[in-house]
């Protein structure tokens, strides 16, 4: 199972020329409802699969880059080294690896990917790729998992002076259903978001200083924010996973919670190697529409987290109706791949009902591409999984992720990402 150090050129996902003919935000036409995802920026209707694939999908990617998330750099050559292996993990059921990925030029940050692969069933395994808030060491009670060296927010359990301590280990294990995931035949992979970009309003650390257009004080208004950087990090992890002989490169699912749910959706929308996308309670700037919000607003998220999006997005704080897209179009970029939006009843800040409207808004694109899309247009009852390719789930409770949520994720994956 041991893998040698690997070096390869990563896949580059093509897009249109960035912002080639896009006007200033103040000159965009106001649109009150959700903009039609099947209409080009110039108003031309999109009626065929070919028009979507060759014209509208690339255009939407460029629009999201230009006005909201910022443009990430092309994938660099990637070095991967397996540094720690336990061939008898979970009482012999799995093999645990910690893989260090160098994701940029000399001196750039390194991403440490925790990878746990079940021994059964035979053959390449599907994999859940996740991104975590406080380090791989918080996911399991395991004293051998390496601590991250990047800056960490002090609200992370057991963190002192922005770095983890032994008291941090396993503190978030109840948020994750890792062993159950292994028992269901899925591999599990995760990395700390701060390995790529620490979650603070400072573009002098993480990956940003290694790309000149992102450095302050000369930061480009369309330069990538933290969410784009984290999504780019997920894509670099995918670069590695698709080469692993024990993993099925056709069955890679991504999952994230809250701001990292926004991240997972962006990664899945832009990268078609990802087969299934689960943005959990992703809310504003992720799965909830910016127009007529039932929870957090664009202004509120930009004021509180100015580093998450590109600076251009702030120009829509008071005029969200000028956005030439809304978040249903980001979901539509995943088509025809399955997407599950999962929520909690008391998490009004994430706008659960607005998220269901985003699925309804993305449905025409799924139908155009021959997918069932959203099988029931009616808002579902509590704890009823809508398991169609455009899926939805809402449970009692608040803003959190737990092992019960993971059971739903696994059920959705069993239905929508079966062995081929």
| Distance between CA atoms of residues 329 and 23, nearest Å | 19
Strand order in the sheet with 78-88: 6-8, 78-88, 94-102, 110-118, 187-192, 125-132, 247-257, 276-280, 339-344, 390-395
Tracing tokens 């993971």 back to the chain, one arrives at: 406
CA-angle at 251, arms to 247 and 253, nearest 5°: 105
CA dist list (Å): 323 to 65, 66, 282, 335, 361: 12, 11, 19, 21, 15
- Residue 258 annotated among the catalytic residues of the structure: yes
CA dist list (Å): 367 to 16, 210, 257: 24, 41, 28
| Distance between CA atoms of residues 239 and 111, nearest Å | 12
Pairing of strands 187-192, 125-132: parallel
Burial of 234 (0-12, 13-18, 19+ CB in 10 A): buried
> Catalytic: which of 190, 258, 290, 388?
258
361 phi, psi to nearest 5 deg: -70, -30
- Reference 150, options 163, 166, 131; nearest CA is 163
CB atoms within 10 A of CB 389: 23
- Reference 356, options 34, 32, 31; nearest CA is 34
CB 302 within 8 A of CB 240: no
Which 3-state string (H, E, C) describes 135-190?
A: CHHHCCCCCCCCCCCCCCCCCCCCCECCECCHHHCCCCHHHCCHHHHHHCCCEEEE
> Catalytic: which of 163, 371, 399, 400?
399
82 phi, psi to nearest 5 deg: -80, 115
- Residue 400 annotated among the catalytic residues of the structure: no
**Residues designated catalytic:** 258, 399
């Amino acid at each position: 199972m041991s893998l040698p150090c690997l070096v390869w050129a990563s896949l580059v996902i093509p897009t249109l020329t960035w912002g080639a003919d896009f006007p200033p935000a103040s000159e965009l036409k106001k649109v009150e409802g959700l903009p039609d995802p099947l209409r080009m920026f110039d108003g031309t209707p999109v009626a065929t699969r070919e028009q979507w694939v060759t014209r509208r999908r690339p255009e939407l990617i460029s629009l999201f880059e230009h006005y909201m998330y910022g443009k990430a750099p092309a994938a660099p050559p990637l070095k991967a080294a397996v540094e720690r292996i336990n061939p008898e993990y979970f009482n012999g059921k799995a093999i645990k690896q910690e893989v260090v990925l160098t994701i940029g030029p000399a001196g750039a940050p390194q991403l440490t990917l925790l990878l746990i692969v079940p021994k059964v069933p035979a053959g390449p395994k599907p994999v859940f790729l996740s991104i975590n808030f406080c380090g791989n060491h918080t996911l399991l009670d395991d004293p051998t998992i390496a601590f991250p060296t990047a800056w960490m927010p002090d609200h992370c359990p057991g963190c002192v002076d922005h770095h983890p301590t032994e008291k941090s280990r396993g503190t978030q294990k109840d948020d994750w259903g890792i062993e159950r995931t292994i028992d269901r035949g899925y591999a599990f992979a995760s990395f700390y978001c701060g390995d790529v970009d620490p979650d603070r309003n400072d573009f002098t650390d993480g990956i940003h200083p290694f790309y000149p257009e992102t450095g302050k004080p000369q930061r480009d208004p369309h330069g990538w924010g933290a969410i784009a950087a984290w999504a780019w990090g997920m894509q670099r992890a995918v670069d590695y996973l698709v080469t692993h002989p024990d993993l099925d490169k056709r069955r890679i699912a991504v999952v994230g919670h809250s701001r990292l749910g926004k991240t997972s959706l962006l990664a899945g929308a832009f990268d078609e190697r990802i087969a299934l996308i689960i943005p959990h309670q992703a809310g504003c700037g992720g799965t909830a529409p910016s127009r007529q919000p039932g929870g957090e607003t664009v202004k509120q998220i930009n004021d509180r987290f100015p580093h998450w999006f590109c600076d251009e997005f702030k120009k829509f704080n008071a005029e969200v109706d000028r956005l030439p897209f809304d978040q249903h179009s980001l979901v539509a970029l995943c088509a025809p791949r399955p997407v599950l939006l999962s929520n909690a009843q008391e998490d009004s800040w994430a706008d659960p009902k607005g998220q269901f409207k985003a699925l309804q808004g993305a449905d025409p694109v799924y139908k155009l591409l021959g997918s069932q899309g959203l099988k029931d247009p009616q808002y579902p009852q509590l704890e009823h999984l809508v398991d169609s390719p455009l899926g939805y789930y809402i449970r009692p409770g608040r803003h959190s992720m737990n092992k019960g949520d993971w059971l739903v994720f696994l059920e959705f994956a069993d239905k929508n990402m079966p062995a081929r």
